[in-house]
Amino acid sequence: MSQTVNPYSASSAEAIERVFPQADVVRLYRSYRSTMEITAFAQRITPNPDIIPLERHGPEPVVARFGNPEEELRAIQEMISTFRSSSNHSLGVICKTLRQAEQAYKALQGPGVHLLTEESTTFQEGVIITSAHLAKGLEFDEVIVPFAGARTYKTDVDKSMLYVACTRAMHRLTLTFSGDITPFLSAWCASRPEPPAARPR
């Protein structure tokens, strides 16, 4: 339920149990994808006390503030360059909407940068720019969540999309924003020093 991206088509486990009262129910709590640091970060967005993270550690997620969207996109371009020289194979740039993803792709396109849409027929390694809705079920070595400001993520559905975007990351997670941070991350940011306004690497 934490990953609901369409509130009109989602069912809870309890609702499914009511439809199939004779079924055996098995609940899976172990989370294998993300490091403990990324899982703990995502839990600040949508707490789930039942989740048991795999004991695998990595760098703390980074939340980076920039003066404007153009500066933000230039920094993401630098992050992409850093990714290319790393040993990681996949980087997801996960936006809230496909329109945002298309705008980001226009600014960031280059060799090895792909836009994933509903019309895409293949999934390639490298840099994938897409929406949270389409990223659901996918995983990446690294994830960048751009435009993570209060104007983008503000409703309950937005919170689920932010949770989905963050939990696609296996090893490294970076969120960028300009303006005010989304309220879903304000408590996390308040517990840390002022986010960097430069390349968060």
Q: pLDDT-derived band of residue 190, with 50, 70 and 90 as boundaries? A: low
- The mean predicted confidence, pLDDT, of the chain is 86
- pLDDT digits 0-9 by tens, 1-19: 445 555 545 566 777 888 8
Q: pLDDT-derived band of residue 147, with 50, 70 and 90 as boundaries? A: very high
All structural domains of the chain with their residue ranges: 13-190
Half-sphere CA count of 58, side-chain side, radius 13 A: 22
Name which CATH class applies to 13-190.
alpha beta
- pLDDT digits 0-9 by tens, 149-165: 999 999 999 999 999 99
Residue 12 burial (10 A CB sphere; 0-12, 13-18, 19+): exposed
Quote the CA–CA distance of 95 and 111 in Å, as a whole number.
20
Cα-based angle 126, 131, 133 (whole degrees, multiple of 5):
120
What is this structure's pTM?
Answer: 0.84
